[in-house]
Structures are given as structure tokens and as C-alpha cells.
């Protein structure tokens, strides 16, 4: 009898323990919920907040589905399927990677999936619901349910699995990255939108795709249609998804995701801090440059796959301009902050060219040249060319039409000081390399040529000398010597240069002239 009594006690204790984990709400229960506060989305902040009556359609192990009583009611089979997917796939998979579900106010570990009438969006995670009602009302004259809620539009319930996967990423990111900002500065308490949306979109592909599968075709890649989108001012879901995926693949995989999601710095600073924490030497701009080159190149072989994706493959990148005859004349363009342009120069016959780039003087740019043989889809080389103090650079494509038939100039703006919806301007041109073959032109004369230790640069008909700069580059466009013009004849020591061909450029930030000399 003692053994039986002891067993009964154990069973009762077990049942009690299990009941403590049971849902607090059951099918048919009715609750009132506040609609979204929109405190994180300025375009809809004038929308009135509603108090919604909703009925519980399903209570799972980790979530409830409540549906607004006046909304189109989803099929129960679809509700059941959503709850099963969330309970047995989404919950453990993403909390293992992103961290635990917040449970701030209601002492209920289940997440509320609230389906309601909403014409403006498919799904929403509202950080206002994670704050006290008194604080939200004091700051924004809105109300908080003080519950963990994922909102789903009733009109789009057919996409509920994808919607919930995305919004679940937002909710878990909030848990990791919001503290302690709401108390210190309640007006600015969340991560930059492009990082936040990056976590949500990346979480969704992790939950709904096999992220370890290779070469899935992504025909919706943003750069297929418009690569000039400002990454740091969120404007495209695919762009931030691909940036998060690229950083995951190249900078530590889940270590990167875990470190970034808990990093309390925001935006560029958070990414740079994470890279530093993981022991990488790259800055944010370095990683962004690698990302932009990869979007065009996506080559698993060149440089050991540095410029590639593993999970996705893509259709051809959008080209903003293509030139097949030279000179091109001076071309004008603009670019968004942390956007990119791809400009190509093509020749099927030997046609060495000089490409000159001039960026807006008060902004920041990076440019790279991808040299490609399109007949065999082989990348000959990828060369980053530094800009001088005037945001000017020159590149000599001396083997165009020989070892490669296409030069792709990837232009990037890396200026976070540019405000949203603003741009920076730049100009570029390409001319036949043979045009400077003799080392002279109407403005610049270099002698002796060839030279051994010193050269004299004679400037002809140059006005306002002090606003001009002389720069000397090697054949790959690497800046070696630079000095301001003080007189019409400049004597420059070249004894430190190796034997070879060098380019001399005169630049006054409005126009430039180019010549050449040989060091013996």
C-alpha cells in the first residue's frame, strides 16, 4: 500500500506540473486586444488604434490563434496547420538561434497570433505591445496589450506561415536587442530598421527554406532590378535579407548571427562591433564592398569563393550603362548612400582603355573593377582602386579584348552622413589608352621620358595652379605620389619607383588631363 500511495503522489505531482504548462486560454475564449500602435512606423502613426474583440480558434503548446470576430474567419484546418508548424518547427528552431521568447507582463509563455481586419500590411510585430501601457500612453497616446503578439492580416491568412516566420524573427530580435534603451530614451529604442528587417527576413528563410541547401535560384534579388538602393535606409526586404545571408556565410555563420542579435550597438556600429568581437579585421565598409562585388560576380572559384553566395544563385545583375566604343565622353550619375551602380565597358578586340572616376568631393566612395571573360565566364581579376584626396581615381584596362572582354566598374557610396532620399553625384569617362601612348598631350609634358631618377612635369596653359593636383599612378591605378601644383614646372623624385609604366594625372576637381612616362 505504501508503494501505491507513493506512486499516486508522484502521478498527482506530475499532473500538477503538466497543468502549470497548459495554455491559459482555450478554444472559444474571447479577449479584447488593442490593434497596432505604429510607434515604429511613421507613415501610419496617424491611424486610429482599435479595441478588437477576438475569439480563440486554437491553443497550442507555444501559441494561440485569436481571430477578430468581425474578420473573415480562416479555415480551421489552416489554423490547425499554422499552430502545428509553429509548435513543432518554428519555436524550437528559431529560439535556439535567436534566443528566448520575451515574457514581460502576462506570465504566459505562449505567443498570441492575432488575426484581424487590416488593409495596410500582411503581418506586424509591434514593439509597443512589449512596453507598459502607461509608458506607451504617456509617450504616444496609444495603448499596449502588454502581451507577446504577432499580428496577421485576415485577408492574407493564406500566407500566415511565412508571415509568422518573419514576425517571429522580429519578436525574438526585440528580446535580445532592446534593453535598456526604452527606459533611457523611449523615443529611439529599437535597432536600425535595415538590421531589424534583416533578422526577420533571415529568420524566415531559415524557417521556411533549407538554409544549408546550395544554389537555390533567387529571381527576386534586388540587384537584378535596381542595385542602387540605400542599404542603411531600409527600402527593400530582399536587399536586407541578402546582406544578412552574405554576412552569415562569410563571417562566422551562426556565431555572427548570435553575436549581432545581442549586440547593443545599432546599425553600422553594431555590425562593426560584431566583426571585431569575432576577430575579423574587416570594417563595415570592407564587408559592404565584398557584398556588392559578390552581387555581381557570385563566383565560387575566384579568390576561394570570397565573392560568392552558397545558398542562392541569381540571374544577371542590372547594368546602369554599357559602353562598347571609346571615348565615352564625360558621364554624370548619382548614387544613394550604401547603394551601388555597375557600369560596363566591353570590347571583343584588343582595346586598352583608361577609365577615370570623379566622386563628389564631400562624400565617400569605393570603386572596384571586375575584369571578366564572358566567353568562358571566367573572372580574370578583381581590383579595388583607392581614390585620392579629391575623390578621383584612374584605372588602366590594358588587356581589354585580350585576356578579358568586359570591365565592370562597381561604384559604391559609403557615406552614412547622407540623409535618406538624398544622393551623391559622380562622373566617369573612358578613353582609348593609345591616346596617351606618347606620354604627351596639350596640357602635360613629362621629360625625360623614359626617366631613371627624376621627372619634370611641364604644365601648359593651366590657370589657377594652386587648385590643381598632380598624381602618379601605376598601371593598375594604384596612387603612388601626389602633390599640389605650385608652379608650371614640377620636378618629382621617382627613384623609389620600380621599373615600369606610370600614369600622370592633372586634376582640379572639375576636369583632368592624363599623360604617361616610363621608369627605367
Query: What tens digit of pLDDT does each residue of 62-106 get?
Result: 999 999 999 999 999 999 999 999 999 999 999 999 999 998 889
* DSSP state, residue 216: E
**Domain match, 31 and 178 both:** yes
Distance CA 336, CA 341 (A): 9
Distance CA 128, CA 47 (A): 15
**Domain match, 179 and 59 both:** yes
Q: Check pLDDT > 50 for residue 7.
A: no
Residue 169 contacts residue 260 (beta carbons within 8 Å): no
Q: Check pLDDT > 70 for residue 433.
A: no
Distance CA 62, CA 111 (A): 6
Residue 507 contacts residue 468 (beta carbons within 8 Å): yes
Residue 59 contacts residue 49 (beta carbons within 8 Å): no
CA of 366: how far to CAs of 289, 293, 341, 470, 512, in Å? 8, 11, 11, 21, 19
Q: Check pLDDT > 70 for residue 17.
A: no
Stretch among 156-160, 178-182, 249-253, 451-455 having the lowest mean pLDDT: 178-182
Q: pLDDT category, 437, cuts 50, 70, 90? A: very low
Q: Per the domain annotation, does 284 fall within a domain?
A: yes
Q: Per the domain annotation, does 400 fall within a domain?
A: no
Per-residue pLDDT, 58: 98
Mean residue pLDDT of the chain comes to: 89
- Going by C-alpha positions, the residue among 64, 62, 67 that lies closest to residue 25 is 64
Beta pairing class for 312-314 and 469-474: unpaired
Cβ-based neighbours of 428, under 8 Å, separated by 6 or more: 330, 331, 333, 343, 355, 356, 357, 358, 409, 411
Q: Which residues of 276-301 are buried (b: 16+ CB within 10 A; e: fewer)?
A: eeeebebebbbbbbbbbbbbbbbbee
**Domain match, 185 and 53 both:** yes
Q: Check pLDDT > 80 for residue 187.
A: no
Per-residue pLDDT, 185: 57
**Domain match, 233 and 90 both:** no
Per-residue pLDDT, 182: 53
Mean pLDDT of 137-157: 95
Name which residue leads in pLDDT, 477 or 173.
173
**Domain match, 57 and 125 both:** yes
Q: pLDDT category, 15, cuts 50, 70, 90? A: very low
**Of 314, 347, 367, which one is at a domain's C-terminal end?**
314
Q: Per the domain annotation, does 456 fall within a domain?
A: yes
State percent of the chain over pLDDT 90: 68
Return the SS3 of 408. Answer: strand
Number of structural domains, the chain?
A: 3
Assign residue 510 the CATH number of its domain.
2.60.40.3080
- Going by C-alpha positions, the residue among 224, 125, 132, 217 that lies closest to residue 168 is 125
Q: Per the domain annotation, does 59 fall within a domain?
A: yes
CB atoms within 10 A of CB 362: 10
Distance CA 231, CA 243 (A): 9
**Domain match, 186 and 222 both:** no
Mean pLDDT of 268-288: 98
Per-residue pLDDT, 69: 97
Q: Check pLDDT > 50 for residue 1.
A: no
Per-residue pLDDT, 294: 98
Per-residue pLDDT, 18: 36
**Of 257, 291, 314, which one is at a domain's C-terminal end?**
314
Per-residue pLDDT, 501: 82
Name which residue leads in pLDDT, 351 or 413.
413
Mean pLDDT of 418-435: 88
**Domain match, 49 and 128 both:** yes
Stretch among 53-57, 328-332, 422-426, 433-437 having the lowest mean pLDDT: 433-437
Map grid coordinates 534586388 to a residue: 222
Q: pLDDT category, 434, cuts 50, 70, 90? A: low
- The gap from C-alpha 11 to its chain's centroid, in whole angstroms, comes to 54
Q: Check pLDDT > 60 for residue 204.
A: yes
Name which residue leads in pLDDT, 486 or 509.
486
**Of 314, 331, 363, which one is at a domain's C-terminal end?**
314
**Domain match, 280 and 302 both:** yes
Name which residue leads in pLDDT, 265 or 516.
265
Residue 66 contacts residue 152 (beta carbons within 8 Å): no
Mean pLDDT of 218-235: 96
Q: Per the domain annotation, does 326 fall within a domain?
A: no
Mean pLDDT of 152-163: 97
327 upstream amide cis, omega within 30 of 0: yes
Per-residue pLDDT, 428: 95
Q: Per the domain annotation, does 387 fall within a domain?
A: no
Runs of H (alpha helix) within 226-314: 237-250, 254-261, 267-277, 284-297
Q: pLDDT category, 220, cuts 50, 70, 90? A: very high
Q: Check pLDDT > 70 for residue 462.
A: no
Q: pLDDT category, 500, cuts 50, 70, 90? A: confident
**Domain match, 93 and 47 both:** yes
Q: Check pLDDT > 90 for residue 426.
A: yes
Per-residue pLDDT, 510: 55
Instruction: Report the chain's C-alpha Rg in angstroms.
Output: 30
CB atoms within 10 A of CB 51: 10
**Domain match, 210 and 117 both:** no
Q: Check pLDDT > 90 for residue 424.
A: yes
Measure the N-to-C terminal CA separation of the chain; round to a whole number of Å. Answer: 106
Per-residue pLDDT, 331: 95
Map grid coordinates 584588343 to a residue: 350
Q: Check pLDDT > 90 for residue 43.
A: no
**Domain match, 208 and 280 both:** yes
Per-residue pLDDT, 347: 95
**Domain match, 140 and 262 both:** no
Q: Give the torsion sign (CA, 113, 117, 123, 128).
A: negative
Distance CA 161, CA 150 (A): 12
Q: Check pLDDT > 60 for residue 4.
A: no
Count of alpha carbons within 13 angstroms of residue 451, beta-carbon side? 22
E strands within 125-264?
A: 149-153, 216-218
Return the SS3 of 116. Answer: strand
Q: pLDDT category, 464, cuts 50, 70, 90? A: low
Q: Per the domain annotation, does 154 fall within a domain?
A: yes
Distance CA 382, CA 378 (A): 11
- Going by C-alpha positions, the residue among 200, 213, 238 that lies closest to residue 312 is 213
Distance CA 397, CA 347 (A): 11
- φ, ψ of residue 381 to 5 degrees: the values are -170, 160
Query: For residue 483, what is the enclosing H or E element?
Result: strand 479-484
Domain span at residue 448? 438-520
Runs of H (alpha helix) within 262-396: 267-277, 284-297
Per-residue pLDDT, 435: 47
Q: Per the domain annotation, does 428 fall within a domain?
A: no
Amino acid at each position: 500500500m505504501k508503494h501505491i500511495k507513493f506512486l499516486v503522489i508522484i502521478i498527482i505531482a506530475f499532473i500538477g506540473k503538466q497543468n502549470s504548462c497548459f495554455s491559459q486560454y482555450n478554444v472559444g475564449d474571447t479577449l479584447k486586444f488593442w490593434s497596432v500602435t505604429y510607434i515604429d512606423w511613421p507613415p501610419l502613426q496617424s491611424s486610429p488604434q482599435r479595441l478588437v474583440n477576438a475569439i480563440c480558434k486554437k491553443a497550442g503548446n507555444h501559441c494561440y490563434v485569436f481571430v477578430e470576430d468581425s474578420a473573415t474567419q480562416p479555415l480551421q484546418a489552416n489554423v490547425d496547420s499554422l499552430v502545428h508548424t509553429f509548435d513543432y518547427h518554428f519555436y524550437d528552431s528559431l529560439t535556439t538561434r535567436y534566443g528566448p521568447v520575451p515574457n514581460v507582463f502576462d506570465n504566459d509563455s505562449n505567443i498570441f497570433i492575432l488575426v484581424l481586419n487590416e488593409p495596410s500590411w500582411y503581418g506586424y510585430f509591434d514593439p509597443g505591445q512589449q512596453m507598459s501601457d502607461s509608458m506607451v500612453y504617456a509617450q504616444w497616446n496609444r495603448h499596449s496589450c502588454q502581451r507577446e503578439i504577432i499580428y496577421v492580416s485576415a485577408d492574407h491568412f493564406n500566407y500566415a506561415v511565412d508571415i509568422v516566420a518573419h514576425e517571429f524573427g522580429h519578436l525574438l530580435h526585440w528580446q535580445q536587442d532592446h534593453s535598456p534603451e526604452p527606459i533611457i530614451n523611449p523615443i529611439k529604442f529599437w535597432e536600425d530598421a535595415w538590421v531589424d528587417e534583416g533578422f526577420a527576413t533571415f529568420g524566415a528563410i531559415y524557417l521556411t527554406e533549407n538554409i544549408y541547401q546550395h544554389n537555390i535560384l533567387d529571381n527576386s534579388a534586388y540587384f537584378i532590378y535596381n542595385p542602387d538602393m540605400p542599404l542603411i535606409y531600409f527600402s527593400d526586404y530582399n536587399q536586407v535579407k541578402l546582406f544578412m545571408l552574405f554576412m552569415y556565410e562569410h563571417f562566422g555563420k551562426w556565431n555572427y548571427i548570435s553575436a549581432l542579435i545581442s549586440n547593443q550597438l545599432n546599425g553600422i556600429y553594431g555590425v562593426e562591433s560584431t566583426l571585431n568581437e569575432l576577430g575579423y579585421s574587416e570594417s563595415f565598409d570592407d564587408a559592404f564592398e565584398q557584398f556588392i562585388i559578390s552581387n555581381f560576380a557570385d563566383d565560387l572559384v575566384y579568390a576561394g569563393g570570397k565573392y560568392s553566395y552558397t545558398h542562392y544563385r541569381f540571374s544577371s545583375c542590372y547594368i546602369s550603362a554599357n559602353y562598347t566604343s571609346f571615348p565615352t565622353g564625360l558621364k554624370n550619375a548619382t548614387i544613394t548612400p550604401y547603394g551601388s551602380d555597375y557600369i560596363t565597358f566591353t570590347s571583343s578586340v584588343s582595346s586598352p582603355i583608361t577609365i577615370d572616376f570623379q566622386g563628389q568631393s564631400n562624400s565617400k566612395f569605393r570603386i572596384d573593377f571586375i575584369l571578366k571573360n564572358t566567353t568562358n565566364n571566367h573572372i580574370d581579376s578583381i581590383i579595388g582602386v583607392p581614390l585620392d584626396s579629391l575623390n578621383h581615381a584612374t584605372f588602366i584596362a590594358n588587356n581589354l579584348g585580350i585576356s578579358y572582354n568586359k570591365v565592370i566598374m562597381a561604384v559604391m557610396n559609403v557615406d552614412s552622413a547622407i540623409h535618406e532620399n538624398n544622393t551623391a553625384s559622380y562622373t566617369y569617362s573612358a578613353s582609348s589608352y593609345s591616346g596617351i601612348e606618347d606620354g604627351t598631350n596639350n596640357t602635360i609634358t613629362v621629360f625625360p621620358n623614359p626617366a631613371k631618377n627624376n621627372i619634370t612635369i611641364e604644365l601648359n596653359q593651366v590657370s589657377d595652379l594652386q587648385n590643381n593636383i598632380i598624381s602618379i599612378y601605376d598601371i593598375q591605378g594604384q596612387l603612388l605620389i601626389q602633390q599640389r601644383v605650385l608652379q608650371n614646372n614640377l620636378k618629382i623624385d621617382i627613384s623609389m619607383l620600380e621599373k615600369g609604366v606610370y600614369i600622370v594625372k592633372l586634376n582640379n576637381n572639375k576636369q583632368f588631363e592624363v599623360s604617361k612616362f616610363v621608369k627605367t
